[in-house]
Amino acid sequence: MEKLRAHFSVWLAKLVTKLAGITGWVWLVKLMRRLTGTQVTVEQMMAVRQAIKENSACKLLIFGVGNDSWFWMNSNSGGRTVFLEDDDFWLRKVKKRVAGIEAYLVDYDSKIEEWKEMIDKPELLEMKFPDEVANATWDVILVDAPTGWGEGTKGRMKSIYAGRKLVSESGHVFVHDCDREVEIAYCNALLKPENFVKEITAVDVGYLRHYKFQA
């Protein structure tokens, strides 16, 4: 009985996530967030989704796989969605759960403690991406990885730098956890205040910053 209940919960979460992605109905997105334990808030998800919908066949690049990956794939059903993940174990787990996900393992090879010395040195911020990612430009980019929550973590220095480098001429870059020192400093330095659109704050999770570039 317990096993059956667990199977049903997984099935329900997947169904709700799919429908939330397809329809964008706020009540479904709210329910999906509750059922999956997604960290980004409903308002933040809706802002990214709106940018996706501006493009008829959006090229969407997301740093970090998570319980929201299926939602992003379904929000961008006519386009292409690619994920980058640095945690091999977590990536394999999500790949098993999410059929058809296009996700690649990346290596940030950085320590958050180095953020101050890296900020104005592009040569230290470069990293290797699979050709599928490096040889394209992306209409919408969401930076929500690596974790960067404190000492000993990799920090988002390289992913924010890559966000600026890989975004299309008039694309959008969203960065989550912009209530943290490193994210704030790198957004200000690399994505620039003149491209800033808005910040969506939240009570118990990270703030989301939205940047839009001009051709």
Q: Which residues bind ligand SAM (CB under 6 A)?
A: 38-40, 64, 66-68, 85-87, 90, 144-147
Q: Which is nearer to ligand SAM, 41 or 55 (CB)?
A: 41
Burial of 148 (0-12, 13-18, 19+ CB in 10 A): buried
> Least distance in Å: CB of 173 to ligand SAM?
15
> Least distance in Å: CB of 205 to ligand SAM?
8
Q: Which helix (H) or strand (E) holds 162?
A: helix 157-166
Q: How many residues does the chain have?
A: 215
Residue nearest to ligand SAM (CB): 66
Beta-sheet pairing, 196-200 with 167-176:
unpaired
* DSSP class of 54: T
> Least distance in Å: CB of 122 to ligand SAM?
24
Q: Which is nearer to ligand SAM, 175 or 191 (CB)?
A: 175
Q: Which is nearer to ligand SAM, 34 or 121 (CB)?
A: 34
- Cα–chain center distance at 134: 17
> Least distance in Å: CB of 167 to ligand SAM?
18
Q: Which is nearer to ligand SAM, 167 or 175 (CB)?
A: 175
Contact 191, 163 (CB under 8 A): yes
